Amino acid sequence: MTDQLAIAVRGLRKSYAGQPAVDGLDLEVRRGEVFALLGPNGAGKTTTVEILEGFRHRDAGEVSVLGVDPARPDSSWRARVGLVLQGTGEFDELTVREVVHHFAAFYPTPDDPEKVIDRVGLAGKADARTHALSGGQKRRLDVALGIIGQPELLFLDEPTTGFDPEARREFWELIRDLAAGGTTIVLTTHYLDEAETLADRVGVIAGGRLVQVATPATLGDRDNAMATVSWRTPDGTVQQVESDTPTAVVAELAARLRADGGDGEIPGLTVTRPTLEDVYLRMIGHR
């Protein structure tokens, strides 16, 4: 691993009952970036992340996370890595404040618990017992416990599950703030808009292999894909055409309308290129 890499993986392999879950995967995550790992259920995404977190042993390959093999972690390495799992635990009889302060004591240089509670949007629930929290509020508590140690590297596993749209966008601001402060973030999510909004780069796993790593804007060559121009004709039907020169198509349509005595405005005009979801589904072989 170089000083520029937070995670370096070479030839990672893991099988269950003779069936490969991860099959020769290579991966690099740069320090300070937000990296989204995408893949369908059963593609090897969860196994890969669990190996990086030190929760699962690999069969073969080289893995370095913050310069340490996660198969042989020590307490100092654990303190540098933050985890937001799909469920951190249950603390039914404790308040939010008690749980966050308790976890802060596990770290050598924790963040201010009261500040963390406020950052995740639980200041108004600080004295509420955790069993009284909603699903989204419990998820916020999971995030608080993941960042209380001021980690260099933060793993976020489906972090906004149970969040309403407003809460998701508030959480996105928190992630941007952490990234701006230099925290490296590995995000797994099924929300493609979340990956597109937050990630500097995304990696797509399918069949235990890393299919491609690119920026959200260039994944699957979507920035060079044909554009679809759609418009509504005078009789109300919708027509569309694919073109690699959509501006020329629009100009031609406008000129045609002006020639017919109109003002050149094109009813119902839309110009679209493939979304991140479109290229992702194509890459994983969705039918």
Which residue in this structure is represented by tokens 């996660």? 70
Same domain, 104 and 192: yes
In-domain check, residue 282: no
Range of the domain at 49: 5-216
Q: What letter would DSSP give residue 72? A: S
Work out the percent of the chain whose per-residue pLDDT is above 90. Answer: 68
Q: What mean pLDDT value characterizes the chain?
A: 91
**159 — pLDDT class (breaks 50, 70, 90):** confident
Angle (deg, nearest 10), helices 96-104 and 135-147: 20
Asked which of 216, 237, 260 is the last residue of a domain, the reply is 216
Asked which of 216, 233, 251 is the last residue of a domain, the reply is 216
Same domain, 203 and 268: no
Whole-prediction pTM: 0.86
3-state secondary structure at position 70: coil
pLDDT at 65 exceeding the cut of 90: yes
**286 — pLDDT class (breaks 50, 70, 90):** low
Domains held by the chain: number: 2
Same domain, 203 and 262: no
In this structure, what token pair is assigned to residue 133? Answer: 């929290």
Same domain, 229 and 105: no
Which residue in this structure is represented by tokens 């797994």? 188
Asked which of 176, 198, 216 is the last residue of a domain, the reply is 216
In-domain check, residue 283: no
In-domain check, residue 280: no
- pLDDT (tens digit, 9 = 90+) per residue, 142-157? 989 999 999 999 999 8
pLDDT at residue 41, rounded to an integer: 87
pLDDT at residue 287, rounded to an integer: 40
Same domain, 147 and 181: yes
Same domain, 259 and 205: no
Same domain, 142 and 261: no
Characterise 264 by phi-psi region: left (phi > 0), alpha (psi -120 to 50), beta (else): left
Give the integer Cα–Cα distance in Å for 172 and 201. Answer: 16
Whichever domain contains 38, its CATH number is: 3.40.50.300
> Which secondary structure element, helix H or strand E, spans residue 11, and what is its range?
strand 5-16
Torsional sign, CA 38, 40, 44, 49:
positive
pLDDT at residue 135, rounded to an integer: 81
pLDDT at 2 exceeding the cut of 70: no
Torsional sign, CA 267, 273, 277, 278:
positive
